[in-house]
Structure formats: structure tokens, C-alpha cells
Amino acid sequence: RTVYLNGEYLPETEARVSIFDRAFLMADGVYEVTSVLGGKLIDFEGHLKRLERSLNELDMPKPEAFDELLDIHRELVRVNDIDDGLIYLQVTRGSDGDRDFAFPDPETTAPTLVLFTQSKPGLANSPQAEKGLKIISIDDVRWGRRDIKTVQLLYPSMGKMMAKKAGCDDAWMVEDGHVTEGTSNNAYIVKGGRIITRQLSNDILHGITRAAVLRFAREAQMEVEERPFTIEEAKTADEAFVTSASAFVMPVVEIDGASLGDGKPGPVARRLREIYLEESLKKAI
């Protein structure tokens, strides 16, 4: 695999980052994941805008190649011959060769920019979408700025492992009695045809797929309500689903052992998945 590191395309075994890099020592880094379908980038502009916002919120300098990111994504898709898959991008604050809590001088310390591809044949035809996900609920103990897409992913990783141990696929996190989001996706329930999902705030990541799916839902005259909901409300919902750049729209069929509807992916989730894939492919670049 060819990867990108700070201006160079390199074999993955030759790409090296300093042990003093602040993402390694302090999780001082942000990331994006963009999906590739049929060799084209899905929702690229949304991911780029959110990256810019994450960098701003953390006073992290933009990498020099920021304006070339579309070309870099496309080149990696080309050289790695990616048909369906993902592109992972990470920007870290880099390193001045020392460890210090204070940020290094941005004039002399350049950020680290890394991109690599992951080939995922049949990404849009995942068998998971036919079966639906089984979810457990766990306490949301993450930091208070979940709107910034940082690489502090230890708790979400623990959540996935807790779900696996329980024979499930993923976890929804709960804070003050209300669902925030999934470990790596935004969470939705459907009641009486109405789509309910938590409103945007610092408590959740502002999903790029979420924005597109809600727009398509409203365009299709579906009712959308942005408000918090409890796990109890979710367990008695008609259906549920999650959204993310890698899973698109993925139905949820079980929450904390309670089956939703007839235990199969619901009609609203199925329809939204179809609409999202169709419409976002039309705009893919």
C-alpha cells in the first residue's frame, strides 16, 4: 500500500513519525474518514469543512498541503487501485522533539499530515445492513468536546469491546439519561414515521452523513425531530438506525436485549439507506 506522509507518497513500511509526535504522546490530533464507492469520494467537501473546523477549535495549524487534499485523496485512490473503501486522514500538532503540555510554537513546528487507504470491497452491500445491528447502552464518559473529531478513541474502542463481549455489534452512549451517539456513529430512532435524533451541540460529533441523511429525509417529506431521547424510549421505538461515513445508514434491530418492531431492519432505515447511497453517489467526486 502507498501512503501519504507530509508531502510524500511512500510504501507504508517506509512512512515514519516521531515518537515525540503529540498525537502519540497526548492524543493531540484530529482525523477524518471519507468513503470511496466506485473509485469516487463520498461527501468529500463535508469532511474537508469539518476538518478545518476541528483544526480551528484546537488552534492547530493547517497543514501546508491543505488546499491539495482533494488531489491527494484522488492520487491515493488511483495508486492503490481502490474501488470501494475508505480514506483515513489525520493531522497532528507534530513535535518539536520534546514533551511539554504547552503547544509548541506553530512558526517552527509543522503539523503532521498522514493519509492512507483501506480497501473494502462491497462496502455499500454489507450483509450487516440486511441483518441490522444489536446495540448495548453504556455510560458516556468521554470529554466534553465531542464535536471536535479528535483521535481520543480509547473509550469508543472499549465500548465496541463491551458490545462484542455481550454478543452485540455496537454501543450507544448515555449521558444524563439520554443517548448521545454510537461509539463511531450518530444514533436515531423512528416513532410513528417520525425520525428522532439528538440535536447538534458539543455533546456529539456533527456527522457528515447525519447532515446529508437529514437533508434527504426532509426533501422526501419525512418528519424529522432533533431532540434527545432516552434508552427506554429507544427500546420501544418502531425502529432505529445509525449513520456514519463507513456504514452509511445502518439499521439497529435490538437495544439492550429488546427487539425493535419485528426484529428486522425497518422500512424508514431501509429507505434512507437507499436514498443516501443513490443521492450521495450522484454527487461523488
Catalytic residues: 149
Segment near ligand PMP (CB under 6 A); pick from 73-81, 131-139, 183-191, 260-268: 183-191
Angle at 170 between CA 51 and CA 214, to 5 degrees: 50
Q: Does 210 bind ligand PMP (CB under 6 A)?
A: yes
Total binding residues toward ligand PMP, as defined by CB under 6 A: 13
Question: Looking at 89, 205, 237, 252, which residue binds ligand PMP (CB under 6 A)?
Answer: 205
Question: Looking at 114, 115, 196, 208, which residue binds ligand PMP (CB under 6 A)?
Answer: 208
* 197, 260, 284 from 194: Cα distances, Å: 10, 15, 28
| Minimum distance from residue 146 beta carbon to ligand PMP (Å) | 6
Site for ligand PMP in 184-203 (CB under 6 A): 184-186
E-only strand ranges, the chain: 2-5, 8-11, 29-37, 40-41, 85-92, 112-119, 133-139, 170-175, 178-182, 186-191, 194-197, 224-226, 239-244, 248-255, 258-259
- If the CB atoms of residues 210 and 273 are measured against ligand PMP, the closer one turns out to be 210
Site for ligand PMP in 217-276 (CB under 6 A): 243-245
Other Cβ atoms within 10 Å of 139 Cβ, number: 11
**Cα torsion through 139, 153, 143, 132, rounded to 10:** -40
- If the CB atoms of residues 92 and 185 are measured against ligand PMP, the closer one turns out to be 185
Given the rule CB under 6 A, which residues bind ligand PMP?
33, 181, 184-186, 205, 207-210, 243-245
